Homo-oligomer: A and B are copies of this chain.
Amino acid sequence: TDVKKIAVIAGDGIGPEVVAEAERVLKRTEEVFGYRFETEHALFGGIAIDEKGTPLPEETLTVCKSADAVLLGAVGGPKWDNNSKELRPETGLLGIRKALGLFSNLRPAVVFDCLKDASTLKPEVLEGTDLMVVRELTGGIYFGEKFRREGSQGQEAVDTCVYNVTEVERIVRQAFEIAQGRRKKLASVDKANVLETSRLWREVVNRVAPEYPDVEVEHVLVDNCAMQLLRRPASFDVIVTENMFGDILSDEAAMLTGSIGMLASASLGEGSFGLYEPVHGSAPDIAGQGLANPIATILSVALMFRTTFGYAEGADAIEAAVAEVLNAGHRTSDIAVDKSKAISTTEMGDLIVAAI
């Protein structure tokens, strides 16, 4: 087999702990399936600010660019929250997305049977929920011009939301294709009754939709979508939306599953390159104590296998191993009902590795 290069960014907080378990899973799949990985670690986020004076050092970008995929733990923490903009972990996150051309963020929100009770939603409402938010990740108000100026009413701040047809079309087409591989339903979310960028968005969706006649499309206003996710989560299949709306709705969708500690995400560019990371944050409050749940990061490896490498067998094996361990009743403290029986980060890693 050819060697796949993976850039590994452990990051801050619980990042290093959960990434360490994911790397053991990688190793295990080399033994079992004969895959060959070459991993290279790189500094990013808060730790890069501390050690290199910038959240996204040039070397890190070089490592990522020469890799086939990136595995990211988590970044950020209170230590850097009051830094100036250029010295904040988030700035590194936006920078790496742009520099690697990761225009598409896939955020699957699924319900793990054994975690149904962890949701604040009624089980009968949640039943069958399995949706995917496809969020545009390198455009919109995140990347438009931002500045301050003096106005007649005192200082004012400006953010600019810009989308061009090319940007919208590539993410919309990707969402249609993803829907074709799923339940063939696409909800395009916008605020076309107010925003010009949303009207452009909707025009593009309507223009390309006839090329995907097997996919049923609906336009949903963002405020209504925030409601419908609560009302009828199981009725959604794929949701495609712009950057800011996607940030909000993907977190809402993740939280309603009750499985937020278990969800993986992928950020993709052109071709097969992708950055994979757990949906959860760096959880500085529990960092370094062996309390973190490594499952979302381990499932990010499965997502990487399937999406970037086409290693379906390995992906299936990882997912099956996670399911097996959970079904046997093993829980880290975040998902344990009886906290006194909770196992540690490495114990969870051991069990999953053994089950592959």
| Chain A residues proximal to chain B, CB less than 8 Å | 88, 90, 94, 120-122, 125, 141-142, 144, 146-148, 151, 153-167, 191, 193-197, 199-200, 222-224, 226-227, 230-231, 244-245, 247-252, 254-256, 260
Contact = CB atoms under 8 A, between A and B. Distances in A.
B222 A247 contact: yes
Contact of A224 (B141, B162, B164, B251): B251
Contact of A153 (B120, B164, B231, B248): B164
A336 to B, nearest CB: 18
Contact of A193 (B88, B161, B194): B88
A246 to B, nearest CB: 10
Contacts of A141: 141, 159, 161, 194-195
Given A153-B167, A158-B160, A167-B153, A94 B142 contact: no
Interface of A is mostly: helix
A158 B196 CA distance: 6
Interface centre among A120, A147, A254 (most CB of B within 10 A): A120
A250 B146 CA distance: 26
B125 A154 contact: no
Contact of A164 (B120, B154, B163, B251): B154
Contact of A156 (B148, B154, B157, B165): B165
Contacts of A144: 158
Contacts of A196: 146-148, 157-159
B161 A156 contact: no
A197 B157 CA distance: 5
Nearest to A230: B255
A161 B161 contact: yes
Contact of A200 (B148, B163, B227): B148
Contacts of A147: 196
A90 to B, nearest CB: 4
A252 B224 CA distance: 8
